[in-house]
Structure 1
Amino acid sequence: MRRTVRFIATDLVKNKFLYLLAMPGLLYFVLFCYLPMTGVIVAFKEYRLDLGIFGSPFNGLDNFRFLTVDTASVLRVIFNTLFLNALFIGIGTVLAVLTAVLVNEIRLVIFKKITQSLVILPNFISWIIVSVFAYNFLNTDSGILNGWLQGLGFSPVNWYNSAGLWPGILVVLYVWKTVGFNSIIYLAAIAGIDPEQYESASLDGASKIRQMWHITIPGISKTIIILLLLAIGRIFYGDFGMIYGLVGDNSLLFSTTDVIDTYVFRALRTLNDVGMSSATGLMQSVIGFVLVFSVNAAVRRYDKDSALF
């Protein structure tokens, strides 16, 4: 025991600057990830504000009964959540990798930096601002897009009444906002590939496309797999900021855009049932945990170096 304490003390003194450097990140996870986990207990309680978290009575699994009250609506929002996230992950990953590859091919340093700044910029625009842009584009009466359609001889489209079009609209806006920022990680991975591989391929007559397919993609494949694993862990979480910012309470679009998070938010707002929202969050976390472990096990069987753990 004394040896362990002495070893820890020595290590703290020896690497004090490294621990200080890691402190902000550790505090973030402790304050915003680990301490809030005590709230998981609310999922099994009939929460009352006057009694608090620990004073409220237990009610077993009653908070999970909402899953069976309106089965059709629950299945719809689960499908929408999985379907939209699958589109976001799949299309977003492909375009982020493609963006990283194309930016990496730019040889003029100034132009490369300008391009990187431009593709990253949309990430710093809030979804509320994006929703204002989207409304000005999609507004039926005075929207820019309908103006273009009418100029080409087509009839205007009532975008905010056409639920079937919104999965595509959401994907376009998601890609525009996030792909540039996500490509940074792939750019860093590409920078770690040995340049001599490209030189050898060029001497052998390989085109840029062949170099990309046989050198770049295999070189960043482990990074792609790790990021996909992390994304799969949140596949049951809808992007509340995006969906609610763009769709709001427009019930005409719920059939294709309503996700778990927006569904629970409306229920919490009307029923004020904190226990139900906590139960939903716990369910999402458990399913994400199981999915990450399952997919990681499959990846580990195929390639141990590409697995998270």
Structure 2
Amino acid sequence: MQRSITAAPRRRKPTSRGTIGLLLLALPGVVWFVVFAYGPMAGLVVAFKDFNVSEGIFGSAWNGLQNFAYFFSSGDAPRIVINTLVLNALFLAASMAAGLLLALMLNEIKGRVARRFGQSVIFFPYFVSPIVISIILQAILAGVGGRGGMLNDFLNVFDLPQPNWYTTPGAWPWILTIVKIWQLGGYTSVIFLAAITSIPEEVYEAAALDGASRARMARSITTPLLLPTLGILIVLGVGRIFFGDFATIYAIVGDNGTLFPTTDVIDTYVFRSLRTVGDFGTTAAIGLFQSVVGFVFVTAAVLVQRRIDKEGSIL
């Protein structure tokens, strides 16, 4: 008896209509990145040229690595590199710690209205202009006419030393760190609060049945479960650790050369050099060096995170 052979049903090819729709949806973003992110990268050749405005980017003569050599032999490179790394490390560590602590505190507020009000209050500084921050700092540290100031008036009550803050370089890494905590603490806490909402409520109920206090739950449950989010934020922050916060630092410090030993970062140095000297080649070389080192840092951070927590790694 001959068996009948039944042909296997053909698989339907996925329709291309959905794929075309997704491609059209992504097209504006792709065009934006090509035009404004990848297109200008052609100008990186300025870092290897003796740039002349009349001859243009591609018409200027090549000078190899002379722009890089001039920067590293100027004596300013070690200072601004160290300042950039130290300040950004302080900013990153302080903003992450402040954001995590604020998120844990806000999570303990039971009233919905009180919690939302607290979130709005601590999030508001993120939108304050660096110029406004500079004016506030001048009122606190220098006062009217560069004398006194609210902080020195407070120190005077307890007969404590009243330094001239705008001529004391050693204090400014900590002053700028306090500013970044005030500016970014609330913004970072919102990210952690969003991660807290994904933690199952049953975990807290089980801990409550075991007699755990709210502080113990925050320490033993909430904080460990926020570590993957913290790791991702740190990796993203490390990717920018070689880029100084130009707007905030320049608005506050400006051209005060007395504070340059501790506050002059790569971004402010490049801006000041371009404005005063007008050497496009050297400034382009510094910017390229900054980008390459930033790429190395973020790659290393991702690899370290992957080794420590493979499941929570972004790659």
TM-score normalised by the chain length of structure 2: 0.89
Partner of 1:10: 17
Pair 1:149–1:99, CA change in 2 (3 A): same
Distance 1:264 1:15, change over 3 A: closer
- Give the match for residue 131 of structure 2: 128
More helix per residue:
1
* Conservation of the 8 A alpha-carbon contact between 2:71 and 2:286: no
Q: Of the two, which has the highest radius of gyration?
A: 2
Of 22, 41, 47, which residue of structure 2 is paired with 1:43? 47
Code of the residue aligned with 1:38 in structure 2: it is: A
Shift of 1:142: 3.9
Shift of 1:8: 9.2
In structure 1, distance between residues paired with 2:30 and 2:125: 28
Query: Between Structure 1 and Structure 2, how many residues are aligned?
Result: 300
Determine which of 100, 110, 115 is the counterpart of 2:113.
110
* 1:1-309 aligned within 5 A: 9-15=16-22, 20=25, 25-71=29-75, 73-139=76-142, 140-309=146-315
SS at match of 1:47: strand
When structure 1 is superposed on structure 2, of 90-99 and 60-69 the one drifting more is 60-69
In 1: Cα distance, 2:17 partner to 2:301 partner: 39
Aligned pair in 2 of structure 1 residues 146, 57: CA closer, same or farther (>3 Å)?
A: same
Q: Which amino acid aligns with 1:262?
A: T
Please give the alpha-carbon distance, in whole angstroms, between the structure 1 residues aligned to 2:203 and 2:184: 30
Q: Counterpart amino acid of 1:55?
A: G
Cα deviation, residue 288, structure 1: 1.2
Deviation at 1:286, TM superposition (A): 0.9
Distance 2:15 2:252 in 1: 51
Aligned residue identity for 1:157 = P
Q: Which residue of 2 aligns with 1:3?
A: none
| Change in CA separation of 1:147 and 1:283 when aligned onto 2, cut-off 3 Å | same
Please state how far the C-alpha of 1:70 moved relative to its aligned partner.
Answer: 2.1
Q: CA deviation at 1:79?
A: 0.9
Distance apart, 1:119 and its partner CA: 0.6
- Deviation readout 1:156-187 (Å, 9 max, x if unpaired): 32110111111111011111011111211111
TM-score by length of 1: 0.91
3-state SS of paired residue (2:288)? helix
Distance across 1 between alignment mates of 2:235 and 2:139: 36
Cα distance change, pair 287–7 in 1 and its aligned pair in 2 (3 A):
farther
What is the distance in 2 between the residues matched to 1:162 and 1:117?
A: 34
Output the CA distance in 1 between the equivalents of 2:28 and 2:176: 34
Task: Compute the RMSD of aligned alpha carbons.
Answer: 2.0
